[in-house]
Structure 1
Amino acid sequence: MTLMPLDGLPQPAAPAVDPAPLGPPAPTGPRSPAAARAVRLTISLLPLLLIAGWAVVDRRSLYDGVARLASADPAWLLIAGVLTALGWVAAACVRQGAVPERLPPGLLLASQFAAGAANHVLPASIGAHAVTLRFLQRQGIPLARGTASLALYSLVKPVAKTAVLLVFLIAFPDMLHFGDLLPDTSTVVLIAGGIAAALAATVVLLAAVPSLRRPVTGFLGTALTDARVLHTRPSRYLPLWLGAAATPLLQGSVIAAVGFALGLPLSWAQVVFALLIASTAVGAVPAPGGIGPLDAAMVFTMTAFGAPVGLATATIIGYRVLTVWIPLLPGALVLSALVQRKAL
């Protein structure tokens, strides 16, 4: 039925209104502010709780390291502290170089300081990558491009470290006798077989699960596009590669400074080269911040270079206290502050 208005034109009848559905309405409103604050507070306190638990479990190492550092040369320890801070600057440079957008320098440096605390709680750099990815998203960078920047970061670091290792091999051919540190043939074959098996498993997985191909190809396309754009801009590829190359040099310099403070009878080049070999050998072991496997490998390599086992062990313990335990609580507080400010 139609209604005839005064102008004579037909108008459609009003549509029938469906009766209200039975049952309570679906909750479509936003989460309450109190619940959001409770979740954010829980996330802010979680790093502090994890650190407290770790301190209880590893209290003997913490006590021994602090006791050894208390009797060390304070001048060398100060140098080691400055080099540790420069390591966070280098990490921020690499992170900036991995994205085309300009990031706020202060917040970026704070995020890397906080990421260091998260990196020592979760294995395989998962904590640091998670903090950085959340920071990038808060800066308006889409998830796909943020993930691509993490992939570029993870690729550039070992490539730059390998280049630094080759430079050391060329620059110090006589001083660094590393024949005893090279793996035997069976170990090399085992490593090569593991890499080949991982690549083959990836190919088979992509071939067997078609639904994975589209996101993987999209991710690779985004990563390659961003990498190509970044390498046309010196303001991006210079901090990316120079920061990645400086990272192992700074880490090795921190270990050397701690060792000099304790009387380690090795040169700077030997300590840095020991770190390059040790980190390359145990890079695939998913330990939190490399703690554990890297420590054992460092003690072994420095002992092979002529350092006493006890002094090499004390150096690594002191290095861990200086670079992990001392910055851990401030890093966790910065992480909580960034969460509270909604920068993460």
Structure 2
Amino acid sequence: MRVDGRDITVSGSLLQPLTRRTNDIVRVVLSALFLVVVIASSLTTRSEWVALERSISELVAVLTPTQANLVYLGYGIAIVALPFVILVSLVVARQWKLLAAYAAAALIAGLALSISGFELTAPRWHFDITRRLDTFATQFVDDPRWIAMLAAVLTVSGPWLPGRWRRWWWTLLLAFFPIHLLISAIIPARSLLGLAVGWFVGALVVLVVGTPALEVPLDSAVRAMARRGCLISALTVVRPAGAGPLVISAQCEGQGSTAVMELYGPHQRGGGVLLQLWRKIRFRDRETPPLHASMRRLVEHRALMGVAIGQLKRANTDNVSVAALNRGWTLYAHSPARGTPLTDCADNLPVGRVWEALRDLHDCQISHGDLRADQITVADDTVLFGGFDHAEFGATDAQLRSDIAQLLVTTTDLYDAPSAVRAAIAAFGKDTVLDASRRLTPAAVPKRLRNTVGDAKAVISAARDEVMRQTRVEEIETETVTRFTRSQIIQLVLLAALVYVAYPFLSSVPTFVTELRTANWWWALVGLLTSSLTYLGAAAALWACADGLVTLWGLVVMQVANKFAATTTPAGVGGLALSARYLQKGGVSPMRATTAVALQQSVQVVTHISLLIFFSAAAGVSANLSRFVPDAELIYLAAGVLFGLIGTFLLVPRLRRWLATAVRPRLQEMIGHLVALTREPKRLAIIVLGCAATTLGNAFALWAAIEAFGGDTSFITVTVVTMVGGTLASAAPTPGGIGAVEAALIGGLAAFGMAAAVAVPAVLLYRVLTTWLPVLIGWQVMRWMTRTRKI
């Protein structure tokens, strides 16, 4: 390469790899929105589109049929030749990978508009051309499939084409709108659909394949380095551009020194604008730095942080140059990193030196933000830092605590947990380290750091346990660093599903309120009292399972709070966790508490199934239960899915090991507890009666609600319907089985001949007495138990 009369040797490949940039993602989003708008407007205002196009074409159509055919012929030749010109240019440029993307985009766009129903249709000329426009070109260009294919191949090949070519070819393609209007062809709307489909398909293919980085302005970078006194004589590519910058080693002429040049292209720096926005949305404000409006501002921030840390003599590089280059590139040049990486000298360097270096940064309110081992070097027994991509001056307390947590993970991995925690406490104090250790979680420790540690989960756990041991605390509360967690997202999805499922029942609320005026409130009171027996039964069963280690009255109160916890979480998992927590607070060991809760649930399932079989047999004597039996096809389908799952678990080694190591031991333990329970008749009787009281209490409450509205049915029938509803409640993903339980109970009562005018208000009253009213009371009880540290 020759720059300003000097020959510069360039070694290494400057060929930029394919990358997926912010522009590619934005292009897909915009094209998808455009396609949605076109389809929605076509479906909702189709007649208006046709009328508008016809009126416009009648006003501007000035060409005779012969002139129109000539225009179509010329435009048709140009538009047909366009894709072949692009194809030839790609072959000449030897863009072999792009050829596959080019063909795929054309094929997908053409097929997308050839699907009719569930089959592919051949091209059909869709115009009545009995009087005019009867050339082959008119029929070919009018087809939206051809327009879609052209839009797709132009979008795919656009990043590789010169800007002038790209503008002229898009102008040629979009010219079909005025041409169609001038010759009175009523199809711009249909062609617009082809354009939208082609643009979306092309944008999607570009996102999958990737786009090339821009041409590297090496001559501009060489001149910028010369202005800083470094006359470059040779350049060596250290790392090509990709997710990060293009890294080049530069030999300075006459100085015998080298410099590291990092060149950032537009949308090329790892992260980019979308990553900044995502971090702002996901993490709390105190966890994220201010947004940078451009790539140049990001690079300048990194260079300025290098200056600030260099003044403390803790930086392993010196800045050489920061400059804006041609074509949107930015240069950041610095000296090579001084010292030996910490990973190579950890055996000879005391871990306390590393923590003292971090303390120097924190004393000046500077956070590093990226304390991986490869960003720390040692020169003459002095610990130095590099990187500075995530460093902040005037850092928040949260960012400083994040530094301590990151260095705990790094030093625990390089040294050991006791020495790392001991050095951290010596440098920052016990309270500061304890506060920072709340961030020793996978969510708070950056992924880039976890990827450099062998077993990140074990290292984080070891550091956390050692902090607990040296600070003598029993538990470290996890700090929340994100605005939302995975469980909150799941709950949001479940809430949306809940609204969707429960919406049909909202229409029954006015009828329910009207029917309440005629209800017998004495029966409602009876239902409320009998539903309270379920709390006593569940408490007695759990008390017996826990060998009476906690008071029965305390368990009854806990069951009221349990109603809130179980109802507001899917499948009642919150209730199980609350029961285990209460037993642990009552002095029961964690293993024993978990076993007691699992034992109660196992007996509850067995008792529930036994009662369901008994009452179903009793109800079958006087009622036809065949309507509850699914169709044979559904039974075969369920059996096939079940056998498929069994075969999958037996054939896949990982699933088979999970069954053998995780499920089988717990299942054997539970069976052992059930067998041991049979040798204690008194304890077994209390557990079974308590579980039965839970099921029968709910059934009696529903029967009382039916009697309150003048219904007439047997207790056996109500018990079968209630147990079916309870089974669905445990299987439904919505909290408390909302929607599924109501539908099952109303449908079950209707199947036994009960009128909807009685079944609907009776079921709603039953749910109020057994679910909603106890949930409100249980919420307050749970808050009281939390304040008094009973849970």
Structure 2 length-normalised TM: 0.36
Determine if the alignment matches structure 1 residue 77 to structure 2 residue 524.
yes
Quote the offset at 1:221 in angstroms: 5.0
The answer for the alignment partner of 1:130 in structure 2 is 577
Determine if the alignment matches structure 1 residue 285 to structure 2 residue 285.
no
- The residue type paired with residue 764 of structure 2 is I
Q: 2:718 aligns with which of 243, 252, 271?
A: 271
Quote the offset at 1:113 in angstroms: 1.0
Quote the offset at 1:143 in angstroms: 3.1
Question: Partners of 1:204 and 1:335 in 2: how far apart?
Answer: 46
Question: Partners of 1:61 and 1:343 in 2: how far apart?
Answer: 41
Q: 2:588 aligns with which of 135, 141, 146?
A: 141
Q: 1:87 aligns with which of 534, 551, 562?
A: 534
- The residue type paired with residue 532 of structure 2 is A
Quote the offset at 1:132 in angstroms: 0.9
Quote the offset at 1:149 in angstroms: 3.0
Alignment partner of 1:270: what SS?
helix
The answer for the alignment partner of 2:549 in structure 1 is 102
Q: 1:323 aligns with which of 770, 783, 789?
A: 770
- The residue type paired with residue 314 of structure 1 is P
Q: Which residues of 2 match residues 232-243 of structure 1 at below 5 A? A: 232-243=679-690
The answer for the alignment partner of 2:742 in structure 1 is 295
The answer to whether the Cα contact below 8 Å between 1:148 and 1:219 also exists between their aligned partners in 2 is no
Determine if the alignment matches structure 1 residue 308 to structure 2 residue 743.
no
Which range moves more in the overlay, 246-255 or 113-122?
Answer: 246-255
Q: Deviations over 1:145-183 (max 9, x none)?
A: 333333333332232122212322443443222122222
Q: 1:226 aligns with which of 648, 673, 677?
A: 673
Question: Partners of 2:600 and 2:642 in 1: how far apart?
Answer: 20
Question: Partners of 2:617 and 2:659 in 1: how far apart?
Answer: 44
Question: Partners of 1:157 and 1:329 in 2: how far apart?
Answer: 25
The answer for the alignment partner of 2:237 in structure 1 is none
Question: Partners of 2:659 and 2:589 in 1: how far apart?
Answer: 20
The answer for the alignment partner of 2:314 in structure 1 is none
Q: Which residues of 2 match residues 18-29 of structure 1 at below 5 A? A: 21=353, 22=356, 23=359, 24-25=427-428, 26-27=433-434, 28=467, 29=471
Residue 166 and residue 102 in structure 1: after superposition, are their counterparts in 2 closer, same or farther (change >3 A)?
Answer: same
Q: Which residues of 2 match residues 114-129 of structure 1 at below 5 A? A: 114-129=561-576
Residue 92 and residue 143 in structure 1: after superposition, are their counterparts in 2 closer, same or farther (change >3 A)?
Answer: same
The answer to whether the Cα contact below 8 Å between 1:66 and 1:321 also exists between their aligned partners in 2 is no
Determine if the alignment matches structure 1 residue 160 to structure 2 residue 600.
no
The answer for the alignment partner of 1:177 in structure 2 is 624
Question: Partners of 2:733 and 2:694 in 1: how far apart?
Answer: 19
Quote the offset at 1:262 in angstroms: 0.9
The answer to whether the Cα contact below 8 Å between 1:144 and 1:222 also exists between their aligned partners in 2 is no
Residue 209 and residue 186 in structure 1: after superposition, are their counterparts in 2 closer, same or farther (change >3 A)?
Answer: closer
Select the structure that is richer in helix.
1
Residue 199 and residue 291 in structure 1: after superposition, are their counterparts in 2 closer, same or farther (change >3 A)?
Answer: farther
The answer to whether the Cα contact below 8 Å between 1:299 and 1:313 also exists between their aligned partners in 2 is yes
The answer for the alignment partner of 2:692 in structure 1 is 245
Question: Partners of 1:165 and 1:211 in 2: how far apart?
Answer: 32
Residue 141 and residue 189 in structure 1: after superposition, are their counterparts in 2 closer, same or farther (change >3 A)?
Answer: farther
The answer to whether the Cα contact below 8 Å between 1:62 and 1:325 also exists between their aligned partners in 2 is no
Select the structure that is richer in strand.
2
Residue 186 and residue 100 in structure 1: after superposition, are their counterparts in 2 closer, same or farther (change >3 A)?
Answer: farther
Flag structure 2 segments of 5+ consecutive residues without an equivalent. Answer: 1-349, 360-426, 435-466, 481-490
Determine if the alignment matches structure 1 residue 332 to structure 2 residue 779.
yes
The answer to whether the Cα contact below 8 Å between 1:87 and 1:247 also exists between their aligned partners in 2 is yes
Question: Partners of 2:559 and 2:678 in 1: how far apart?
Answer: 23
Aligned length: 310
Higher RCO (Cα < 8 Å, 6 or more apart): 1
Alignment partner of 1:103: what SS?
coil
Quote the offset at 1:202 in angstroms: 5.2
Greater Rg over alpha carbons, structure: 2
- The residue type paired with residue 686 of structure 2 is P
- The residue type paired with residue 302 of structure 1 is L
Alignment partner of 1:141: what SS?
coil
Question: Partners of 2:529 and 2:655 in 1: how far apart?
Answer: 51
Quote the offset at 1:109 in angstroms: 0.8
Question: Partners of 2:652 and 2:682 in 1: how far apart?
Answer: 38
Alignment partner of 2:570: what SS?
coil
Which range moves more in the overlay, 87-96 or 274-283?
Answer: 274-283
Residue 332 and residue 203 in structure 1: after superposition, are their counterparts in 2 closer, same or farther (change >3 A)?
Answer: farther
Residue 157 and residue 190 in structure 1: after superposition, are their counterparts in 2 closer, same or farther (change >3 A)?
Answer: farther
The answer to whether the Cα contact below 8 Å between 2:599 and 2:673 also exists between their aligned partners in 1 is no
Flag structure 1 segments of 5+ consecutive residues without an equivalent. Answer: 1-17, 40-49
Residue 202 and residue 140 in structure 1: after superposition, are their counterparts in 2 closer, same or farther (change >3 A)?
Answer: farther
Which range moves more in the overlay, 102-111 or 170-179?
Answer: 170-179
Question: Partners of 2:650 and 2:602 in 1: how far apart?
Answer: 19
The answer to whether the Cα contact below 8 Å between 1:66 and 1:318 also exists between their aligned partners in 2 is no
The answer to whether the Cα contact below 8 Å between 1:282 and 1:297 also exists between their aligned partners in 2 is no
Residue 97 and residue 286 in structure 1: after superposition, are their counterparts in 2 closer, same or farther (change >3 A)?
Answer: farther
Question: Partners of 2:351 and 2:701 in 1: how far apart?
Answer: 73
Residue 212 and residue 69 in structure 1: after superposition, are their counterparts in 2 closer, same or farther (change >3 A)?
Answer: same
The answer to whether the Cα contact below 8 Å between 2:649 and 2:655 also exists between their aligned partners in 1 is no
Quote the offset at 1:199 in angstroms: 4.7
Quote the offset at 1:299 in angstroms: 0.9
Quote the offset at 1:343 in angstroms: 1.4
Structure 1 length-normalised TM: 0.76
The answer for the alignment partner of 2:233 in structure 1 is none
Alignment partner of 1:307: what SS?
coil
- The residue type paired with residue 768 of structure 2 is V
The answer to whether the Cα contact below 8 Å between 1:62 and 1:321 also exists between their aligned partners in 2 is no
- The residue type paired with residue 191 of structure 1 is A
Sequence identity percentage? 25
